[in-house]
Amino acid sequence: MNAKARSVGDVTPLTAHFNQALVLSSGAELPEFDLVYETYGTLNTNRSNAILICHALSGTHHVAGTYGGDARTAGWWNNMVGPGKPVDTNRFFVVGVNNLGGCNGSTGPASINARTGKPYGASFPFVTVEDWVHAQARLADHLNIDCFAAVMGGSLGAMQALQWALTYPARLRHAVVIAAAPKLSAQNIGFNEVARQAITTDPDFHGGDYYAHGVIPFHGLRLARMLGHITYLSDDAMMEKFGRELLAGKHKFSLEVEFEIESYLRYQGDKFTERFDANTYLIMTKALDYFDPAASSAGNLSAAMAKTKAATLVVSFTTDWRFSPARSKEIVKSLLDNALPVTYAEIESTQGHDAFLMENEHYFSVVRTYLNRVAQEVNA
Amino acid sequence: MNAKARSVGDVTPLTAHFNQALVLSSGAELPEFDLVYETYGTLNTNRSNAILICHALSGTHHVAGTYGGDARTAGWWNNMVGPGKPVDTNRFFVVGVNNLGGCNGSTGPASINARTGKPYGASFPFVTVEDWVHAQARLADHLNIDCFAAVMGGSLGAMQALQWALTYPARLRHAVVIAAAPKLSAQNIGFNEVARQAITTDPDFHGGDYYAHGVIPFHGLRLARMLGHITYLSDDAMMEKFGRELLAGKHKFSLEVEFEIESYLRYQGDKFTERFDANTYLIMTKALDYFDPAASSAGNLSAAMAKTKAATLVVSFTTDWRFSPARSKEIVKSLLDNALPVTYAEIESTQGHDAFLMENEHYFSVVRTYLNRVAQEVNA
């Protein structure tokens, strides 16, 4: 970490309202919608130094900085984004946005549907990565940003960066694609499906309209998150962190929590239900499952990527078994097949998929070096 | 497969009743218990050709053959066990047994507790692999078998074979240890814990006493099995088998089943609830979590294995990520450290953990060749 790196400090979310209808991939239409976002740093005079950061499954617009000086409110990529950090807010104007269907202020299933005066609930349409990118483009218009210096994200966020390159090739110079895959495998979809079934078979789900019942599908959402956490960590990382340690030092021969790993998963599951909406979880996992830019080119990713123009940084992590380095290399290959500029880094890490959120010298220096070049290019 | 190989044909389960109390690892006591078992082949006159086959998480005593001539009732290892098959019932007397805590006839949580006249339910004690081995030794006594030619199993069944070598070193000549690990990793325990939480947080679980309510924790048990299936298959096997195929050929943008893999998992989950008891699932996963023979030797598996005498065949499968080849090699090393005879085969397979149940030329020929040698040794 740069010795002079610091936090962006306290930040304030903003809301942009869009009253022109958005037609979604499903054919459904949102007559109007809000996007909540945050910005850090200063947009330069030729408006060329903006970086859009897209969030993953459970992320938000709150990428960096704090609220009310409380360090516990630090943004989810606070280690990556700030003055002197790899995404240097002294040089870049950084935009974080909560996606459609979310539960952090942007229009989603818990929002009031103006037509009915009630929460959307089960009637909120399923959205795709492409839909998110269209909505984010509206935000770019709102901010008068014609072309991003970079669109960037990890995991599902990285899929949005790829989709930007496909949908709006003239509106970004660089895509930064971290811990991603060009589509989910059957195993990935399987894990998502178990999570969805956990939520939808919870008796408190009420077909998605649990808001009206004053309950949440607590147990289902908790299970979904517990399962998610196992897939975010590597087997090695879990052994390092928890091993087979017993909370009580011995077996209890009961259903009480016994192993440290059980305690960790239950805690993570419980905590998640306090901040996340189950319908949003369903929408996010479906967006993941649907993502498959090669589908419209008969499965040929290289053919699909032919319409992109962005230079791309692709980063993977050795122990990420959710989206392994082999999946990142599929993306790299598809760009090379089109003679597009691509930089690839495979980072040694024991942290599994979660590595994209963690500080790691090699990883951060790759991003820093890459974005330094971008800064020179756009005179940031 | 041997051209002359055939099925053992129709078989009949038997029940052995034991009225001497069994003290369990937990300190709890079963005053009496039943074990359901099947046998195939003929015990030779010096009673030296018996092979005990131990089942895995959801297995039973019904290893081979059929009931009432119905091919759909074939035993779970019918491809492995029979006349002319790798475990050749022309030469060996094979015993399959349902474990304590099971739901297929051996005493378990759905059995009537003679003290109360009601099903044990939540009061059925948690058992360990060691407890199973003690109970199986009672069955061996019942059958007048002093020493097995081999004790054999896959996955949790293989852990029982290892435990036999530790607990009754003089009562087996060979252990056949397939697709096993010497203990579960934190990730393994994590998956088991998600499955248990799915069951125990199902409102129909009623603290384990759902029998009295005339319900089963259907949704929880279904989720547990869906998750299990993902971990039994390799990512590659799932891609080969299901890919990203859509049932309807296009996205539905709803919570209906869309991908083939979703359909498969839901079907497997549903089917499982018809044949398996949720309390047994809890007991089996706990037995897996508890298994750790090295624990009493300060984590030193080689020190623990010093008391074993059996010759051992260890088999692993390249794409098994639940118990990877590296875990089998830990077992091999601990035996070599004690200068014990050990044969190791790592089988190329795309089938993941499930490979231990599937016919595979290399795998079957390894088992066949090994047991041919055993047959000569015991004059079978």
CB-CB under 8 Å, A238 with B185? yes
Q: What is the pLDDT of residues A186-195, one digit of tens each?
A: 999 999 999 9
Q: Which of A71, A53, A72 is nearest to A63 (CA)?
A: A53
Q: What is the dihedral of CA A80, A82, A87, A92, to 10 degrees?
A: 160
Per-residue pLDDT for A4 more than 90? no
Q: Is A31 helix (H, G, I), strand (E, B) or coil?
A: coil
Contacts of A259 in chain B (CB under 8 A): 186, 189, 193, 289
Q: Is A300 helix (H, G, I), strand (E, B) or coil?
A: coil
Q: Which of A166-180, B57-71, B181-195, B233-247 has the lowest mean pLDDT?
A: B233-247
Residues 149-188 of B with CB under 8 A from A: 183-187
CB-CB under 8 Å, A187 with B230? yes
Alpha helix stretches (DSSP H) within chain A:
129-142, 156-167, 186-200, 218-232, 235-241, 260-275, 278-290, 301-305, 325-336, 361-377
What pLDDT, on a 0 to 100 scale, did the predictor assign at position B379?
82
Q: What is the pLDDT of residues A79-123, one digit of tens each?
A: 999 999 999 999 999 999 999 999 999 999 999 999 999 999 999
A187: nearest CB among B185, B189, B235: B235
Choosing from B106, B155, B234, B334, which is the catalytic residue? B155
CA distance A14 to chain B (A): 30
CA distance B193 to chain A (A): 6
CB proximity list for B192: less than 8 A, separation 6 or greater: B184, B285, B286, B288, B289
Alpha helix stretches (DSSP H) within B233-259:
235-241
CB-CB under 8 Å, A253 with B125? yes
Contacts of B255 in chain A (CB under 8 A): 196, 200, 208, 282
CB-CB under 8 Å, A25 with B194? no
Q: Is the dihedral of CA B205, B206, B209, B212 positive or negative?
A: negative
What is the rounded CA–CA span in Å between residue A224 and residue A191? 9
What pLDDT, on a 0 to 100 scale, did the predictor assign at position B42?
98
Catalytic residue status for A353 = yes
If you average pLDDT over every residue of chain B, what do you get?
96
Angle at B128 between CA B124 and CA B132, to 5 degrees: 90
What pLDDT, on a 0 to 100 scale, did the predictor assign at position A288?
97
Nearest CA in chain B to A246: B290
What pLDDT, on a 0 to 100 scale, did the predictor assign at position B380?
77
If you average pLDDT over every residue of chain A, what do you get?
96
For chain A, report the end-to-end CA distance as a whole number of angstroms.
Answer: 21
What is the rounded CA–CA span in Å between residue A33 and residue A17? 6
Mean pLDDT for the stretch of residues A27-55: 97
What pLDDT, on a 0 to 100 scale, did the predictor assign at position A1?
56
Per-residue pLDDT for A3 more than 90? no
What pLDDT, on a 0 to 100 scale, did the predictor assign at position A64?
98
What whole-number percentage of chain B has pLDDT above 90? 96
Mean pLDDT for the stretch of residues B200-209: 98
What is the rounded CA–CA span in Å between residue A318 and residue A351? 9
The question of ipTM being above 0.85 is answered as yes
Q: Which of A170, A177, A162 is nearest to A301 (CA)?
A: A162
**DSSP-derived secondary structure for A114-145:** TTTTEE-GGGSPP--HHHHHHHHHHHHHHTT-
Q: What is the pLDDT of residues A320-338, one digit of tens each?
A: 999 999 999 999 999 999 9
Q: What is the pLDDT of residues A159-184, one digit of tens each?
A: 999 999 999 999 999 999 999 999 99
Answer for the pair B94, B33: CB distance below 8 angstroms, yes or no: no
Q: What is the pLDDT of residues A232-275, one digit of tens each?
A: 999 999 999 999 999 888 999 999 999 999 999 999 999 999 99
Contacts of B241 in chain A (CB under 8 A): 186
Catalytic residue status for A320 = yes
What pLDDT, on a 0 to 100 scale, did the predictor assign at position A249?
87
What is the band of B1 on the pLDDT scale with cuts at 50, 70, 90?
A: low
What pLDDT, on a 0 to 100 scale, did the predictor assign at position A74?
97
Per-residue pLDDT for B183 more than 80? yes
Choosing from B320, B328, B334, B354, which is the catalytic residue? B320
CB-CB under 8 Å, B253 with A193? no
Mean pLDDT for the stretch of residues B64-81: 97
Q: What is the pLDDT of residues A138-161, one digit of tens each?
A: 999 999 999 999 999 999 999 999
Q: What is the pLDDT of residues B6-35, one digit of tens each?
A: 999 999 999 999 999 999 999 999 999 999
Mean pLDDT for the stretch of residues A302-329: 97
CB-CB under 8 Å, A197 with B222? yes
What is the rounded CA–CA span in Å between residue B165 and residue B163? 5
What pLDDT, on a 0 to 100 scale, did the predictor assign at position B4?
79
Residue A373 burial (CB count, 10 A):
12
Choosing from B55, B174, B229, B353, which is the catalytic residue? B353
Whether the full predicted model's pTM is greater than 0.90, yes or no, is yes
Choosing from A61, A62, A229, A353, which is the catalytic residue? A353
Per-residue pLDDT for B184 more than 90? yes
What is the rounded CA–CA span in Å between residue B340 and residue B312? 8
Compute the half-sphere exposure of residue A207: CA atoms within 13 Å on the CB side of its CA.
Answer: 3
CB-CB under 8 Å, A223 with B187? no
Q: What is the pLDDT of residues A182-238, one digit of tens each?
A: 999 999 999 999 999 999 999 999 999 999 999 999 999 999 999 999 999 999 999
**DSSP-derived secondary structure for B256-271:** S--BHHHHHHHHHHHH
Question: B91 touching A, CB under 8 A?
Answer: no
- A259 to each of A237, A238, A250, A251, A255, how far by Cα in Å? 16, 12, 9, 9, 11
Mean pLDDT for the stretch of residues A19-34: 97
